[in-house]
């Protein structure tokens, strides 16, 4: 009995793990492309945040690089990954994107501008407070767009 229980638990763990992998791994085509772009943006934001919080050594060149990568993935490059009506599962995109396209595109441009600003601040060796302020401004653009256009999980 006990063995069966143990075995059952292990199987359940495997099923749960693969369900989590599937949630993102199941994405294909354009949805996968934009999830990958967002993951890259998210990874670079995480790195920048860790440096500013002292969880990683502060490295102005690396922070500038992270911000530049975000800027490169933003603006029109990001909005092109949202062709009209592309709501295939497991997307978290909201249909409102295409009802209010200008607002959506505006957020993507705001992200690009804020990321470029952060790259400049870090690159010119600005003091940490100024770099942190530029980082917060960038984080605000993520939040604004997610609140309006991404389904909360
Ligand atoms: C222009 C709007 C917009 C901006 C700006 C934006 N996002 Fe997103 N983000 C989205 C949408 C929409 C999705 C859901 C995409 C989907 O599931 O198809 C998403 C999804 C994500 C995901 C989940 C990706 C996945 O694998 O499911 C992460 C992580 C993420 N965004 C991080 C960020 C970060 C960090 C920023 C700011 C630096 C940011 N986003 C800025 C619209 C935006």
- The atom of ligand 1 lying closest to the CA of 78 is 1
Is the distance from the beta carbon of residue 66 to the nearest atom of ligand 1 less than 6 Å?
Answer: no
What predicted TM-score, i.e. pTM, was given to this entire model? 0.87
- The atom of ligand 1 lying closest to the CA of 44 is 35
27: left (phi over 0), alpha (psi -120 to 50) or beta: beta
For residue 97, give every residue at least 6 positions away whose Cβ sits within 8 Å of its Cβ, in sequence order, or none.
82, 104, 149
**Token code pair at residue 13:** 């763990």
Structure confidence at residue 26 (pLDDT)? 86
Cα distance between residue 73 and residue 149, in whole Å: 18
Q: What H or E segment, with its residue span, contains residue 81?
A: none
pLDDT tens per residue across span 61-118: 999 999 999 999 999 999 999 999 999 999 999 999 999 999 999 999 999 999 999 9
Q: What is the mean pLDDT of residues 112-133?
A: 97
Is the distance from the beta carbon of residue 73 to the nearest atom of ligand 1 less than 6 Å?
Answer: no
Cα distance between residue 78 and residue 101, in whole Å: 13
Mutate to test the pocket of ligand 1, among 150, 151, 152 (most ligand atoms within 8 A of CB): 150
Helix axes 128-149, 101-123, angle to 10 degrees: 160
Domains of the chain: 28-149 (1.20.120.10)
146 CA to centre of ligand 1 in angstroms: 6
pLDDT(60) > 80: yes
């Amino acid at each position: 009995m006990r063995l069966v229980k143990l075995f059952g638990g292990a199987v359940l763990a495997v099923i749960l793990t693969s369900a989590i992998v599937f949630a993102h791994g199941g994405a294909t085509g354009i949805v996968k492309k934009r999830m990958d772009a967002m993951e890259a943006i998210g990874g670079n934001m995480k790195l920048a945040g860790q440096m500013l919080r002292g969880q990683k050594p502060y490295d102005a060149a690396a922070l500038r690089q992270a911000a530049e990568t975000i800027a490169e993935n933003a603006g029109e490059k990001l909005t092109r990954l949202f062709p009209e009506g592309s709501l295939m599962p497991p997307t978290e995109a909201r249909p409102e994107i295409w009802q209010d396209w200008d607002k959506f595109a505006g957020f993507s441009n705001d992200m690009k501008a804020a990321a470029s600003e952060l790259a400049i601040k870090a690159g010119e060796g600005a003091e940490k407070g100024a770099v942190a302020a530029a980082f917060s401004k960038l984080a605000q653009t993520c939040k604004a767009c997610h609140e309006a256009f991404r389904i909360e999980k």
